[in-house]
Amino acid sequence: MMLRYLLPAVLLLCSQSAWSDEADHYNRAVFESVASRQVNNDLLVARMSVEINDKQPARIAQQITATLNEATRLAGSFSTVKVATGYQRTEAVYDKNNLFTGYRGHAEFRLESRDFEASSKLIALLQDKMQLAAIDFSVSPETQKQIESVLLAEAMDEFKKRADAVRRMMNGQSYKYVMLNINPGGRNFAQDGMLARNFEAKAIPMQKLSGGQSEIRVQVAGTIEIVP
């Protein structure tokens, strides 16, 4: 019997508490500030590939291994370029009549560097026996971190200026933060970079590479409460 009287009382207290919390939410403003900057892409990532066709998978493996070893040897002369072997596969090949014709082996070789000139020289050397699959440019993690620190200070300064402007408009004495959300590292995309796709040549001259630019953004969004 006691429980029947206690339950409505508890529900009433909960509803009063919720109403009280809701009533305290007044003189609030929600807005955001964004700081952005165009930054030169300073990191190059190139993917080279080699493809061998043969009826014997062992011969394919030997040729691919020899090519990758030679690529690694050549890259050893370029201390500013990081290289690594990538995805490799060997698969059976069939003609249009679904008859087995042999095997195809594929392997990738990856280059990463902030030295565009050295990368271009190495790519030109490797293209004697490998295909250039792609060159992509971006902002290096080190540079992005430095720029984000500067942009964060700018975005926070702008947020505070807007908060103070809102306070003056509402004739408040001060304001306090209710919620603050900082989102660094906005979309980072290449612009006007010189990209190469599915390009194959032998003994090609060194290309002058242009990395283009990316936009780095920092967003500060939040809610403030004006204190009368």
pLDDT band at residue 208, thresholds of 50, 70 and 90?
A: confident
**pTM, to two decimals:** 0.76
Q: Is 97 helix (H, G, I), strand (E, B) or coil?
A: coil
17, pLDDT greater than 70: no
Residue of higher predicted confidence among 189 and 62: 62
pLDDT, average across residues 74-86: 96
Q: Is 46 helix (H, G, I), strand (E, B) or coil?
A: strand
pLDDT, average across residues 3-31: 53
Quick: pLDDT tens for 88-117. 999 999 999 999 999 999 999 999 999 999
Quick: pLDDT tens for 146-179. 999 999 999 999 999 999 999 999 999 999 999 9
Domains present along the chain, CATH in parentheses: 27-42+139-199+213-228 (3.30.110.70), 43-138 (3.30.70.360)
36, pLDDT greater than 80: yes
Map the chain to HEC letters. CHHHHHHHHHHHHHHHHHHHHHHCCCCEEEEEEEEEEEEECCEEEEEEEEEEEECCHHHHHHHHHHHHHHHHHHHCCCCCEEEEEEEEEEEEEECCCCCEEEEEEEEEEEEEECCHHHHHHHHHHHCCCCEEEEEEEECCHHHHHHHHHHHHHHHHHHHHHHHHHHHHHCCCCEEEEEEEEEECCCCCCCECCCCCEEECCCCCCCCCCCCCEEEEEEEEEEEEEEEC
- pLDDT for 104: 97
Report CA torsion sign: 42, 137, 205, 67: positive
